[in-house]
Structure 1
Amino acid sequence: MKILVLRFSSIGDIVLTTPVVRAIKQQVPGAEVHFATKPGYRSLLEANPYVDKAHYLNSSLRELVQELRVEQFDFIVDLHNNLRTSLIKLQLGVKSAAFDKLNWQKWLLVNLKINTLPQVHIVDRYLAAAAPLGVHNDGQGLDYFIPAEAEVSLTTLPAAFQQGYVAFAIGAQHATKRLPVERIIELCALLRQPVVLLGGPEDAANGQLVEAHFSNRDAEKSQSRILNACGQYSLNQSASLVRQAQFVISHDTGLMHIAAAFQKEIYSVWGNTVPAFGMYPYRTKYHILEVPGLECRPCSKIGYEKCPRGHFKCMRDIQFEPFFPAAPAAAAPASQNRVG
């Protein structure tokens, strides 16, 4: 069978599709697996041995459809399920299945604070869309493949970081999913190990503020224990730094799921979104840092550029000390220490 998987964004969502791709390739005899996404996510697919061919949506949906029609697919697994993917399926006219986005249930939770969402991770909902192919969850978790040329040698880091560090992914697409800079500084101050700050170019300014704070504080030392790597590395290189970290702190963002693919211990920080949406770290040890019982949370299933109520309690009131009371690898409270 020739099978097409559709998922156009984003980094974390595409990483979360990897169990489906692997299951199809390994469990459907002779399967040829194609994946369609946006060109900005090319690096997520190029090294994946379970993807036989990738297709990219550039400026024209029509051109992509023409390219896909030539392939004569037998089945489409739609893991995006939006208007664009619906148009692709309609025009290709082959058998397909789509994952359930649970939009109505999410609306109830966001707007009425009524939680009717099933306690099912989004990976398992993705796998349900591929069930007509006879595939099942192999229990192997997420995949992330780093090309050899993108591996970062620890010898290229400052000496203080070569014996171990914490990776802190400080970015997120929306501001209400990110800790304010002063809270990032507060959290870093509780950690004993050196800390590598990870993120894109858009996070570099905040990373510089955090790095400068500790550089000034540690001026008498030869080297700061905070390294601002935001915008300095490619996604695959950042993944390499995540893979080699002692543990990972991350907002609800793509690097969190990349960390889960490497089965790192994750301290997962949640603001306006909630783990109940089904996108918490998958099949790895993790700890949830959040403000439980906050009546305005979740205020969105995605995020905002600023807190709709102005107080931003969901991030400003998170208690860090129970997770990092003395040593950075200290166990979280039993109710928060989970394996997804």
Structure 2
Amino acid sequence: MKKLANKAVLFFYIVLALFRKQRKNTAKKFLIVDTLRLGDVIMSLPVFKAIKNRYPDSEVSVTVRSSFAEILEDNPYVDKVIPYYGKSASNLKLIKSLVKERYDVCINLCEGKLNGIVYAACIPRRIGYLQRHKYRDGFFLTDPVEWNGEFKGITAMFLKLLEPIGISGADDKPEMHPQAEDIASVADLLPKAEGLKIIIHPGTRKSTKEWPYYRELIEGLIEQFDAFIIISGDSSEVSLINKILDGLDNKNILNLAGKTALKQLAAVCAVADIAIGNDSGVLHIARAVKTPTITIFGPEDFRLGGGADDKDIRLSADVPCRTDSDYFGIAMPDVGRCKKESCDDHECMKKITPDVIIKKVQKLLKRQ
């Protein structure tokens, strides 16, 4: 019943918007719809910076999943964070709040299902990609953008949406700068003595992206480098991590799974010497705080993070089963990914062995 009521409210406001007088189109207040996963939110950070650099007197608001809102609270290029509570939340409340703010421009980063809400909020200029529902998107958007270029990463996709407002060639490297209080809040958890500190994030939202050799890797890193290992993870990943750590000597291991907020996690990444993990939001955070990373790619295309430098090592096995080329409902022929929810052989992950990662750690240490 609630779902039906939400649809009825949205339909009413869309019809109402058809008859409302259009406001003058300016570029003073921007709304960015960014209700994506954590890694995508981190990769969208250059968008906010580019807008503020081009329109320094503008106000930038970002709609983001409520669980990720804190990651943007201290961002110098974001004036307001609007938590999004999902499709089950009240459309009426969200539409009224957007109408009240009187935004001039909305840039929707690949969440076509929210184009109707933006239209209903009577925002004069609405920019977004034509996705799988092209006719729907074309109706709701004033500046529909079609993807027609070489895939150069998710950030490049997001930045292309700024071209209708006169922004091109923006820096595509996400940046995060943890606050001093967040760094101080994690300082007491970490060893005071000098030594190699490696943060490892074994968890991921999909089982097909889980690498099976973390236990062996942790043992190898401690044995070869006397490394201090910091394990990160959210509350849903505690069971997986406890299984990995079961029976290991905890002298060189700190398990922070389920114990840190996102801002604290960013601070931990910033003080670590190296971050290792599956293709996940936490590895994107580590890159954004300029920590050298080793990312294990399985079903996803390693190019989704854009261009890599010598501190950004991406491991990807050559397998024939990445046959899908769809991102956000947009076909990209030069991209290969696998969308299976489960996999029996896990070949893309098993081909990447612990000794490969240990050699990459040695390579990073030589560069430092």
Band of TM-score, shorter chain = 0.7 to 0.9
Q: Give the AA of the match of 1:279.
A: G
CA distance in 2, matches of 1:204, 1:153: 21
> What is aligned with 1:56?
83
Deviation for aligned residue 1:28: 1.2
CA contact under 8 A between 1:4 and 1:35: conserved in structure 2? yes
Among 80, 103, 125, the alignment partner of 2:157 is 125
> What is aligned with 1:107?
none
Q: Give the AA of the match of 1:195.
A: I
> What is aligned with 2:166?
134
Q: Give the AA of the match of 2:321.
A: C
> What is aligned with 2:314?
288
CA distance in 2, matches of 1:102, 1:148: 44
CA contact under 8 A between 2:46 and 2:173: conserved in structure 1? yes
CA distance in 1, matches of 2:192, 2:243: 20
Q: Give the AA of the match of 1:297.
A: R
CA distance in 1, matches of 2:310, 2:132: 24
> What is aligned with 1:324?
358
Q: Deviations over 1:61-81 (max 9, x none)?
A: 221111111121111111133
1:306 equivalenced with 2:342 (yes/no): yes
> What is aligned with 2:217?
187
Deviation for aligned residue 1:208: 2.0
Equivalent positions of 1:89-108 (< 5 A) are 89-99=119-129
> What is aligned with 1:23?
50
CA distance in 1, matches of 2:77, 2:31: 12
CA distance in 2, matches of 1:88, 1:121: 26
1:247 equivalenced with 2:292 (yes/no): no
State how many pairs are aligned: 308
CA distance in 2, matches of 1:302, 1:234: 31
> What is aligned with 1:108?
none
1:279 equivalenced with 2:305 (yes/no): yes
User: For 1:125, what is the secondary structure of its paired residue?
Assistant: helix
Deviation for aligned residue 1:152: 4.5
User: For 1:33, what is the secondary structure of its paired residue?
Assistant: strand
CA distance in 2, matches of 1:168, 1:84: 35
CA distance in 1, matches of 2:149, 2:220: 35
CA contact under 8 A between 1:102 and 1:117: conserved in structure 2? no
Q: Which has the higher helix share?
A: 2
CA contact under 8 A between 1:100 and 1:125: conserved in structure 2? no
CA contact under 8 A between 1:257 and 1:282: conserved in structure 2? no
Deviation for aligned residue 1:275: 1.7
> What is aligned with 2:105?
75
Q: Give the AA of the match of 1:74.
A: D
Q: Give the AA of the match of 1:239.
A: A
Deviation for aligned residue 1:8: 0.8
User: For 1:321, what is the secondary structure of its paired residue?
Assistant: helix
CA distance in 2, matches of 1:166, 1:117: 37
Structure 2: tracts of 5 or more residues without a match: 1-27, 135-147, 327-336
Deviation for aligned residue 1:22: 0.9
Deviation for aligned residue 1:249: 0.6
1:196 equivalenced with 2:230 (yes/no): yes
User: For 1:98, what is the secondary structure of its paired residue?
Assistant: strand
Deviation for aligned residue 1:123: 0.9
Q: Normalising by structure 1, report the TM-score.
A: 0.80
CA contact under 8 A between 1:323 and 1:330: conserved in structure 2? no
User: For 1:171, what is the secondary structure of its paired residue?
Assistant: coil
Deviation for aligned residue 1:298: 5.3
Q: Deviations over 1:141-199 (max 9, x none)?
A: 2122434432255652354876331111111111111113xx11122233221211111
User: For 2:264, what is the secondary structure of its paired residue?
Assistant: helix
> What is aligned with 1:219?
none
1:297 equivalenced with 2:329 (yes/no): no
Deviation for aligned residue 1:317: 2.1
Q: Deviations over 1:71-128 (max 9, x none)?
A: 2111111113321234323542421211466999xxxxxxxxxxx9823121111111
Q: Which has the larger radius of gyration?
A: 2
| Residues 261 and 33 of structure 1, relative CA distance in 2, 3 Å threshold | same
User: For 1:213, what is the secondary structure of its paired residue?
Assistant: coil
1:174 equivalenced with 2:213 (yes/no): no
Among 286, 310, 334, the alignment partner of 1:259 is 286
CA distance in 2, matches of 1:240, 1:83: 34
CA contact under 8 A between 2:311 and 2:364: conserved in structure 1? no
CA contact under 8 A between 2:201 and 2:282: conserved in structure 1? yes
Structure 1: tracts of 5 or more residues without a match: 105-115, 216-222
Quote the sequence identity (%): 22
User: For 1:144, what is the secondary structure of its paired residue?
Assistant: coil
Q: Normalising by structure 2, report the TM-score.
A: 0.75
CA distance in 2, matches of 1:117, 1:177: 27
| Residues 147 and 7 of structure 1, relative CA distance in 2, 3 Å threshold | same
1:211 equivalenced with 2:251 (yes/no): no
